């Protein structure tokens, strides 16, 4: 545990410093977007995910320098996350087609698939260990990482929502990992680094947001969560953590993935949605008149329940 203290400090500091720099440079270069959930629709920098990427890389490089025994898992997670982050940055700058965004994460799964060779057994609750063989490397890993990164991008649009969801998920994986041994424990260290990075970034991204995640941020967080869970053999936990995103996928599918997550702003600052729900955020809006940060807190609460279930099932039913 002590070997992760320095990487945590480095990750936190780099995230804070880089995010401050990104806020200034994004404003200067015109990389801003309107905060549509506010009455005055302020312009907010949109490349905040660069700060998360910098903190994640710095923290894990420090971990790698201190503990080279598990260089394989650290390198695989970093490579996959960097590839996804690059795709997200391209999307922010070039506005890639939806089909390109949906399929390119498959290529980011290659480092994870190579790292996982020789480990194709998944422990399924109430069934037990199942060896998927080659199917695990060529289908399950690419599918899991693609779903993780794309799904995370769907449920976003409110200040602090995606960052907070990622923080809760990372903490759950950290708790599970640090109770394990070997690569699972190392995955727990990386999850803890991710949690610290997201906590630092949340200071800037919480209501009222000073910076947005951007696609680089949403894809990166989803990829990092997926990569850590896959490489640390915490697939059962990932299944529970992503349950709210399953609901989001169903709601977005009804609109052929053209639906939005933001709401209509009332004069008192509350958000409402009058049509059929396009998002989990709209489901919450229909429960009453809530302000943006209250809707975010409600959805965080749902994810906390999922995180508790993830920890319980992964550590008691699966028993890492």
In angstroms, the CA 271 to CA 265 distance is 5
Cα-based angle 276, 282, 287 (whole degrees, multiple of 5): 100
The answer to whether the beta carbons of residues 52 and 221 sit under 8 Å apart is yes
In angstroms, the CA 259 to CA 32 distance is 21
Residue 270: inside a domain = no
Tell me, what's the pLDDT at 82? 87
Residue 271: inside a domain = no
188 backbone dihedrals φ, ψ, rounded to 5°: -65, -40
Residue 154: inside a domain = yes
Q: Which two tokens stand for residue 107?
A: 């290529």
Q: Where are the beta strands (DSSP E) in the chain?
A: 32-34, 43-45, 121-124, 128-131, 264-265, 270-272, 290-291
Tell me, what's the pLDDT at 218? 93
Residue 72: inside a domain = yes
Q: Which two tokens stand for residue 52?
A: 């998360």
Residue 204: inside a domain = yes
When divided into structural domains, the chain yields a total of 1
In the sheet where 270-272 sits, what is the strand order?
264-265, 270-272, 290-291
In SS3 terms, 235-267 reads as HHHHHHHCHHHHHHHHHHHCCCCCCCCCCEECC
Q: Which residues of the chain have pLDDT under 50?
A: none
What is each CA distance from 166 to 27, 196, 261, in whole angstroms?
A: 25, 11, 17
Residue 66: inside a domain = yes
Residue 264: inside a domain = no
Instruction: Quick: pLDDT tens for 219-240.
Output: 999 999 999 998 898 989 999 9
In angstroms, the CA 242 to CA 320 distance is 20
In angstroms, the CA 65 to CA 56 distance is 14
Parent domain of 197: 2-235
Residue 250: inside a domain = no
């Amino acid at each position: 545990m002590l070997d992760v203290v320095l990487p945590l400090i480095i990750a936190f500091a780099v995230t804070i410093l880089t995010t401050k720099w990104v806020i200034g440079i994004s404003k200067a270069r015109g990389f801003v977007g309107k905060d549509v959930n506010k009455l005055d629709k302020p312009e907010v920098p949109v490349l905040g995910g660069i700060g998360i990427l910098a903190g994640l890389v710095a923290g894990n490089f420090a971990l790698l320098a201190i503990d080279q025994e598990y260089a394989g898992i650290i390198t695989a997670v970093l490579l996959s996350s960097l590839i996804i982050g690059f795709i997200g940055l391209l999307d922010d700058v070039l506005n890639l087609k939806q089909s390109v965004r949906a399929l390119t994460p498959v290529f980011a799964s290659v480092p994870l698939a190579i790292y996982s060779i020789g480990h194709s057994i998944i422990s399924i609750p109430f069934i037990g260990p199942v060896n998927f063989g080659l199917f695990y490397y060529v289908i399950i890993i690419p599918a899991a990482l693609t779903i993780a990164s794309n799904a995370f991008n769907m449920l976003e649009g409110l200040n602090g929502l995606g960052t907070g969801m990622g923080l809760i998920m990372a903490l759950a994986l950290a708790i599970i990992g640090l109770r394990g041994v070997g690569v699972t424990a190392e995955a727990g260290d990386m999850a803890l680094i991710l949690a610290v990075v997201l906590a630092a970034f949340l200071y800037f991204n919480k209501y009222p947001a000073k910076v947005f995640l951007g696609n680089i941020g949403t894809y990166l967080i989803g990829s990092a969560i997926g990569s850590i869970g896959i490489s640390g053999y915490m697939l059962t936990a990932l299944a529970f953590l992503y349950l709210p995103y399953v609901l989001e996928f169903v709601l977005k599918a009804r609109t052929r993935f053209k639906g939005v997550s933001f709401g209509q702003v009332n004069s008192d600052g509350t958000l409402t949605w009058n049509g059929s729900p396009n998002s989990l955020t709209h489901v919450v809006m229909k429960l009453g008149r809530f302000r943006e940060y209250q809707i975010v807190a409600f959805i965080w609460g749902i994810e906390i329940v999922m995180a508790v279930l993830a920890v319980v099932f992964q550590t008691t039913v699966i028993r890492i």
